Amino acid sequence: MKIAFYAPMKPPDHPVPSGDRSFSRAILSALTALGHEVEIVSRLRSWTGAPEEQAGLRRAGLAEADAVVERLRAAPPDFFLTYHLYHKAPDWIGPKVADAFAIPYAAIEASYARRRLEGAWALGAADARKALLKASLVAAIQTEDEAGLREILPAERVTRLTPFTDLSPFSAAPQQRADGGPLKLLAVGMMRQGNKADTYRALATALKAWTLTDWRLTVAGDGPEREGLEALFAPERSDFLGQVPNAAMPGIYAGADIFVWPSVKEPFGFVFMEAMAAGLACIGGRSGGVPDVIREGRTGFLVDAGEPESILAALEALREPALRRRMGEEARQIAITEHSVEAGARALAALLARAVENFERGIGGCGR
């Protein structure tokens, strides 16, 4: 099929790295591997952190939709696929294009919260809802997002898609772990305000209280908050690497014993998938999409960022080498089976087929 692709949150070629950008790139790679012709039809970023900007963005989005329709008339797409749609990043383009050419419209990583229909984000929430109601199929990434979507969509129009990425470099990297010596902890994350900074603070608080074992922390990541966040950690036990080139990251994971990132509202966390593929037992936050990736007690432990004692309990448990090895091996198998590009391509093929079937049966509002 010829697929029109749009990512209102952040285009796949945006210069700032993020999990959102990584997943959209993985989706494009998987679609291409399946033999589809994919075109990014717009790079308009509808996302904003300031609700007062949404009215202007809406005007720009509707004008962009008209322009995209006119540009595609010579060779219309067969399918419109939107990635990451919610109240802060509405899709004003996909439904209009799908209507113009009477083609299926689907969305991946969408969410809906009824409470957003009132208050500062009402405009974006209402337009995001309109787009979702138009879709033949909507895929949630998180369990909590799926529940919200089912409030407004029938069961046949809601599905789940497990996040995926290219994990082959991480699973192939030679492991450098050995029992004995300091326990090597690894954290990977951008250093910016909000949930990322809160995660670093939670980790620092827990480690300050951990005096029962010999450990050393390596941190890969950089950002505007680095100076303040780095100061929270004991310099004699911490190594801050800054931003590490992608090609070097598999070796960083391979040299660690435990991946610890007590995440605060992490959407799904590509770092956990990478750590799992590298054979690491993981400690992650109980919020967001991380519980859909980490198997509690099997591939790691889920903790509450606001409770340092829960982080310490997980670290203490993973001091046992046999437990780390057992969890790491199961983590590697799950990562390859469920989160690899190959697994993602199979899931995407099924998603597209179901969306087309729904459309042909008259399920969904676009093109009708």
Query: What pLDDT score was predicted for residue 287?
Result: 87
Is residue 84 within 8 Å of 9, Cβ to Cβ? yes
Over the chain (368 residues), the average pLDDT of each successive run of 10 is: 97 89 94 97 97 97 98 97 97 98 97 94 97 97 92 96 94 79 94 95 96 91 96 96 95 96 88 96 93 94 96 96 96 95 96 97 78
Query: What pLDDT score was predicted for residue 122?
Result: 97
Q: What is the DSSP letter of 41?
A: -
Angstrom distances, CA of residue 176 to CA of 168, 179, 192: 17, 10, 30
CATH of 168-339, one of 3.90.550.10, 3.60.15.10, 3.40.50.2000, 3.40.50.720: 3.40.50.2000
> Residue 97 and residue 351: Cα distance in Å, rounded?
20
pTM for the whole structure? 0.89
Angstrom distances, CA of residue 340 to CA of 17, 170, 175, 276, 288: 19, 11, 19, 11, 21
Query: What pLDDT score was predicted for residue 17?
Result: 81
Contacts 24+ apart (CB under 8 A), 295-301: 295/330, 295/334, 298/327, 298/330, 299/327, 299/328, 299/330, 299/331, 299/334, 300/259, 300/327, 300/331
> Residue 281 and residue 276: Cα distance in Å, rounded?
7
**Other CB atoms within 10 Å distance of the CB of residue 41:** 23
Query: What pLDDT score was predicted for residue 178?
Result: 67
- Architecture (CATH level 2) of domain 2-165+341-360: 3-Layer(aba) Sandwich (3.40)
Question: Which tokens sit at 151?
Answer: 């409030």
Query: What pLDDT score was predicted for residue 173?
Result: 87
Contacts 24+ apart (CB under 8 A), 251-254: 251/173, 251/176, 252/186, 252/188, 252/218, 252/220, 253/170, 253/173, 253/186, 253/278, 253/280, 254/173, 254/174, 254/175, 254/176, 254/177, 254/278
The helix, strand and coil proportions of the chain, stated in percent and rounded to the nearest 5, come to 45, 15, 40
2-165+341-360 against 168-339: fold identical? yes
Break the chain into its structural domains and give their ranges: 2-165+341-360, 168-339
Q: Identify the CA nearest to 278 among candidates 136, 164, 167, 158.
A: 167
**Other CB atoms within 10 Å distance of the CB of residue 214:** 10
Distance of CA 255 to the CA centre of its chain: 25
Question: Which tokens sit at 347?
Answer: 């899931």
Query: What pLDDT score was predicted for residue 189?
Result: 94
